[in-house]
Amino acid sequence: MNLFALLDQAAARFGDRGAVYCGERRVVTWAGLRERALRLAGSLQGAPGTRIAVASENRPEIVELMFGIWAAEFVYVPINYKLHPREMADIVVDSGAAQVFASPKIAARLDLDVPVETVGGESYEQWFRTEPAAAPDTDPAALAWLFYTSGTTGRSKGAMLSHRNLMAMTVAHLADFDAPDQDCSLVHGAPMSHGSGLYIPPYVLRGARQVIPESGAFDPGEFLDLCEHHPGCSAFLAPTMVQRLVATGRDRPRHLRTVVYGGGPMYVDSLKKAMTAFGPIFTQLYGQGEAPMTITGLRRADHLCADDAILGSVGYARSGVDVAVVREDGTPAAIGEIGEIVCCGDVVMSGYWNNPAATAATLRGGWLHTGDMGSFDDRGYLTLRDRSKDVVISGGSNIYPREVEEVLIEHPGVTEACVVGAPDEEWGEVVVAFIVGTADPAELDAHLLTRIARFKRPKRYEFLDELPKNSYGKVLKRALREQLAQ
């Protein structure tokens, strides 16, 4: 099944109902969305390649681009709009994208060797003036989405997600977390290029309207206002976004029914404050781009308990997914023993695009090796303990230390650099850079802004005479974390 079938079914059942909204304004009906997706597919089928990149802040057009690309039996390659233009260009080159659709704000920043269409306006509308393509009939194993995650080597890796992978994710969401219908809404507060965008398929399947804030981003007041206006609102939000909602001091909007949080740590105290403010509307997911949004989850009923160990866990295995914790030799860890979290199921990617070495290292013995460390308790709840890949998750975004370190080392005033994450009440974690050298923080900030995205910059710098190392010369990041804790 091609994922376009979800839109096909929604258009047949709810044709004249609103499908996509910008703020409170209806943009298109389900029948109109289907028509535009098929017309876009008709235009795309003459393109020289099958990967199509989309780089934009949240906009209504993303929904028609997504389903139009799938209707053409092409591959959707969304790009995080917060990335540096150089990082965006790397993804376009690596994916071999034949065409890029970009918002006006992003298009002005791109310098690429492939065509860039600015979304909105007369030129963009030309893509919808061809004859509509026939509805596709695609092998479920065919590639549907290249999900780019930052790599620990500093290079992005494209997780290859098939139509089957995303259908498994869709079914698991409807089985585990939410049961929307045509009188419900999905409000896109988080970026549609990754977290929130992955939830488009299940809500399209049920005919729930897609609501995009006019700001194109997350503004707590705007988000809460939309949940007062639109019926049956659900949303995926990073923990820092939930905390910003609580900080408004406003009551729960009358139509806010479900918040799925994930993408970073949520402290138990912060979670309790959120539940006091908005009630029992929360569910939590643990997943990766390699198993999109779907490894384990803490359901709404779990949040009603008074057990901090449960509230601090990431819940049970999701529907259709097997999850285990293993030792270094691959044998199962005992209850309470910390090991690497692995999973398998139809939701797991087929591998990394053009990266067989990384694929072989991550997919072993039929299991996805997450690189995350955790343990099960005797009730079956999984708790994350550490991340062997050293990823820093700040405000729901993954930041890999090595890519920041490599840019820092390029500065002539830096002899050595080591980046770690430090716990933070608002952001979950923040980036801290330990520096050996003579550069000052202002110089380093200016240098980083020419090379990487703003959100990856360290929140603070610590200057040392030397970095702690073991006998093999490897930097002891644990010692640096302990220093921060003290």
Q: What is the pLDDT of residues 315-362, one digit of tens each?
A: 999 999 999 999 989 999 999 998 999 999 999 999 999 999 999 999
In a domain, 15, yes or no: yes
In a domain, 418, yes or no: yes
User: Which tens digit of pLDDT belongs to each residue from 144-190?
Assistant: 999 998 644 457 899 999 999 999 999 999 999 999 999 999 999 99
Domain shared by 105 and 218, yes or no = yes
DSSP-derived letter for residue 294 is: E
In a domain, 245, yes or no: yes
Domain shared by 361 and 414, yes or no = no
pLDDT score for 394: 84
In the chain, what is the greatest distance between 2 CA atoms, to the nearest angstrom? 69
Residue 113 lies in domain? 4-376
Domain shared by 222 and 297, yes or no = yes
CATH of the domain at 451: 3.30.300.30
Domain shared by 111 and 181, yes or no = yes
Domain shared by 326 and 423, yes or no = no
pLDDT score for 211: 98
CATH of the domain at 300: 3.40.50.12780
Domain shared by 461 and 366, yes or no = no
Domain shared by 291 and 371, yes or no = yes
pLDDT score for 473: 62
In a domain, 384, yes or no: no
Q: Of the candidates 319, 341, 376, which is a domain's last residue? A: 376
Give the SS3 label for residue 171: helix
Give the torsion through C-alpha atoms of 260, 266, 271, 277, to 10 deg.
Answer: -70
Count of domains observed in the chain: 2
In a domain, 381, yes or no: no
Domain shared by 367 and 404, yes or no = no
Q: Of the candidates 376, 402, 419, which is a domain's last residue? A: 376
pLDDT score for 150: 60
Q: Of the candidates 327, 342, 376, which is a domain's last residue? A: 376
Could you give the angle at the alpha carbon of 380 between the alpha carbons of 260 and 308, nearest 5°?
60
Which residue from 73, 64, 293 is spatially nearest to 165, judged by alpha carbons?
Answer: 293
Domain shared by 347 and 441, yes or no = no
Residue 261 host element (H or E): strand 256-261
Q: Write down the H helix ranges in 216-374.
A: 220-229, 239-247, 268-278, 308-311, 356-362
In a domain, 438, yes or no: yes
Domain shared by 208 and 332, yes or no = yes
pLDDT < 70 regions, the chain: 150-154, 265, 386-389, 470-474
